[in-house]
């Protein structure tokens, strides 16, 4: 944009505390929003040098916040479709792809993968992400943060191991915002929580904790510590520094009460947990105690509109779940997400002084409901959640700069070529799966996928999913299924350092190589 620009005649929903809505003209100067006005003439008179862009027939919202996302899943999602999360460790193609992606020879592939994933975020209207990357070594991790920075998308990156923690600690320029992951609940120890909490204090970053994604995680923590995960973290004063809590699929009311009393928020990923068949967020308790909720796509998907739509539809699928107003669900994907990730002073709503980070939709389509002359916030939010798709997004602005302009993103064709090359390299039989029916022959697929949930993980959504036959590609599952992206066989190379070996005597910050 020009140095000073007026976005005129658009329909705006601010998603701030007042939910201002209607024909609002935005004055943007440099990276920030300088003014909001309902009087275009006065705004022009006060800013005679401003360039005017007429955005009539467009709806303007703050850029979406995807508060929890695994970047590598943008490539690997095809390998996990329809398969229970507890079985992922037994998927040979997935394990092979993960090992290859984590190998030192794949640094350029990691860079290409994150370039593609974050370009997809942009075209989907997402301008802020809580990134939870794989446990890359420090050099691959550098490729991740460089690729994200190239997109312009704001991020807070969860640090998965000591290589990543040291890399961020050593950076003097372009240091990313970070959170320190506490790892898997079943691997919690007093030592690991203490040392990771210490590292978070030294880096002045929050902690990030997966809470109750699977019922087995909850049971393991209670067995090891005689208390819930949330109570355990509370005993370490973890909530004092804005800990990011994710999932809460199996959180009890006592845990939710602790979160509420601590002023905490929870990032829920309902559509992903449906696909993983691990349950749904504890929405009854969370709504009852008025815990602030943010939304994340978690695994594979980048479409926050679909995430909002699923959140709205979920009470129709599961009896007894609370129905949230459309305005509240939209805030879960904007200002609440920004608050959960620590960006609320800069992003998540359209307010004077905040960064000019916006998403625009074309609403001049005969297939869409016609907005009233003075639409309410509820009316606009309903249109967004129930009728708009990412194909209606025309423009995405980050810090006053168009990153998507009239549905076009710079360099997209090159990035698409890179993504196709990655699929050929990492996804088995990719070329064959791209062939048409004539080349493949006619195959009749069974109505129910031939895979079943492991013992003890069949509850799924409320009453559970039907058991299914095991696929031939799935090897025998260990007694406690684990995620191959975190616990995988050691490769024939120097292994990535664990997040915190229980037998280590090293104290973070005292070694010469830190």
Tens digits of residue pLDDT in 333-387 = 999 999 999 999 999 999 999 999 999 999 999 999 999 999 999 999 999 999 9
Residue 131 has a pLDDT of: 98
3-state SS track over 17-75: CCCCEEECEEEEECCEEEEEECCHHHHHHHCCCCEEEECCCEEEEECEEEEEEECCHHH
Model pLDDT for residues 500-511, shown as the tens digit of each residue: 444 444 444 444
CB–CB of 224/216 below 8 Å?
no
Q: Can you tell me which residue has the tokens 């069974």?
A: 446
Task: Assign 79 a pLDDT band (cuts: 50, 70, 90).
Answer: very high
Phi, psi of 29 (to 5 degrees): -125, 115
CB–CB of 322/284 below 8 Å?
yes
Q: pLDDT averaged over the chain?
A: 86
156 has a pLDDT exceeding 70? yes
Structural tokens at position 341: 């990730």
| Closest C-alpha to 268, from 226, 320, 213 | 213
Rounded Cα distance, 117 and 71, in Å: 7
Stretch 387-393: mean pLDDT, rounded?
97
Task: Assign 484 a pLDDT band (cuts: 50, 70, 90).
Answer: low
Task: Assign 242 a pLDDT band (cuts: 50, 70, 90).
Answer: confident
What is the four-CA torsion angle of 89, 93, 98, 103, rounded to 10 degrees?
130
Residue 456 has a pLDDT of: 42
The domain segmentation of the chain, as residue ranges, is: 4-62+348-409
Q: Can you tell me which residue has the tokens 């709503």?
A: 349
CB–CB of 154/347 below 8 Å?
yes
Residue 485 has a pLDDT of: 57
Residue 233 has a pLDDT of: 93
Residue 491 has a pLDDT of: 45
CB–CB of 87/38 below 8 Å?
no
- The CATH number of 4-62+348-409, from 3.40.190.10, 3.50.50.60, 1.20.1440.230, 2.30.40.10, is 2.30.40.10
Task: Assign 487 a pLDDT band (cuts: 50, 70, 90).
Answer: low
CB–CB of 334/308 below 8 Å?
no
| Closest C-alpha to 234, from 204, 215, 211, 216 | 211
Half-sphere exposure for 207 (CA within 13 Å, toward CB): 26
In angstroms, the Cα distances linking 259 to 193, 229, 243, 265, 291 are: 18, 11, 10, 7, 7
Task: Assign 37 a pLDDT band (cuts: 50, 70, 90).
Answer: very high
Residue 174 has a pLDDT of: 87
Stretch 401-406: mean pLDDT, rounded?
96
Model pLDDT for residues 198-231, shown as the tens digit of each residue: 999 999 999 999 999 999 999 999 999 999 999 9
What percentage of residues in the chain have a pLDDT greater than 90? 77
Please give the residue that has the higher pLDDT: either 270 or 481. Answer: 270
Write the CB contacts of 456 (distance below 8 Å, at least 6 apart in sequence): 215, 216
Burial 342-357 (b: 16+ CB within 10 A, else e): bbbebbbbbbeebbbb
Stretch 289-300: mean pLDDT, rounded?
96
């Amino acid at each position: 944009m020009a140095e000073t620009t007026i976005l005129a005649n658009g329909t705006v929903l601010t998603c701030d505390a007042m939910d201002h809505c209607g024909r609002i003209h935005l004055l943007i100067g440099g990276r920030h929003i300088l003014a909001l006005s309902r009087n275009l003439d006065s705004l022009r008179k006060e800013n005679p040098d401003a360039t005017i862009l007429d955005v009539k027939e467009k709806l303007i919202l703050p850029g979406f916040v995807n508060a929890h996302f695994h970047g590598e899943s943008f490539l690997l999602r095809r390998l996990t479709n329809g398969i229970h999360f507890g079985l992922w460790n037994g998927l040979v193609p997935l394990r092979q792809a993960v090992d290859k992606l984590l190998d030192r020879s794949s640094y350029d592939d990691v860079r290409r993968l994150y370039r593609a994933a974050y370009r997809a975020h942009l075209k989907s209207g997402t301008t802020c992400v809580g990134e939870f990357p794989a446990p890359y070594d420090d050099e691959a991790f550098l490729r991740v943060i460089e690729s994200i920075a190239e997109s312009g998308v704001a991020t807070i990156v969860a640090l998965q191991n000591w290589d990543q923690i040291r890399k961020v600690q050593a950076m003097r320029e372009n240091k990313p915002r970070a959170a320190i992951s506490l790892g898997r609940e079943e691997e919690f120890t007093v030592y690991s929580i203490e040392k990771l909490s210490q590292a978070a204090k030294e880096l002045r970053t929050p902690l990030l904790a997966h809470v109750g994604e699977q019922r087995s995680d909850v049971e393991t923590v209670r067995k090891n510590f005689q208390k819930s995960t949330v109570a355990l973290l509370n005993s370490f004063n973890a909530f004092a520094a804005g800990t990011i809590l994710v999932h809460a699929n199996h959180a009890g009311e006592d845990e939710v009460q602790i979160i509420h009393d601590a002023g905490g928020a929870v990032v829920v990923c309902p559509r992903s947990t449906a696909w993983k068949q691990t349950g749904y967020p504890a929405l009854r308790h969370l709504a009852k105690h008025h815990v602030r909720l943010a939304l994340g796509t978690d695994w594979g998907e980048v479409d926050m509109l679909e995430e909002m739509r699923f959140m709205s539809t979920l009470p129709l699928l599961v009896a007894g779940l609370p129905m949230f107003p459309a305005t509240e669900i939209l805030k879960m994907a904007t200002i609440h997400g920004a608050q959960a990730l620590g960006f609320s002073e800069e992003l998540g709503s359209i307010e004077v002084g905040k960064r000019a980070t916006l998403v625009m939709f074309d609403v001049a389509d005969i297939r869409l409901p016609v907005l009233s002359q003075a639409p309410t916030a509820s009316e606009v939010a309903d249109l967004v959640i129930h009728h708009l798709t990412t194909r209606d997004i025309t423009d995405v602005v980050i810090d006053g700069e168009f990153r998507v302009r009239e549905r076009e993103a710079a360099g997209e064709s090159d990035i698409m070529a890179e993504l196709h090359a990655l699929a050929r390299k990492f996804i088995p039989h990719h070329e064959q799966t791209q062939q048409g029916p004539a080349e493949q022959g006619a195959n009749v697929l069974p109505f129910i996928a031939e895979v079943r949930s492991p013992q003890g993980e069949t509850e799924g959504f409320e009453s559970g999913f039907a058991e299914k036959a095991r696929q031939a590609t799935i090897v025998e599952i260990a007694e406690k299924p684990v995620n191959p992206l975190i616990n995988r066989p050691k490769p024939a190379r120097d292994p990535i350092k664990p997040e915190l070996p229980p037998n280590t005597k090293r104290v973070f910050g005292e070694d010469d190589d830190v």
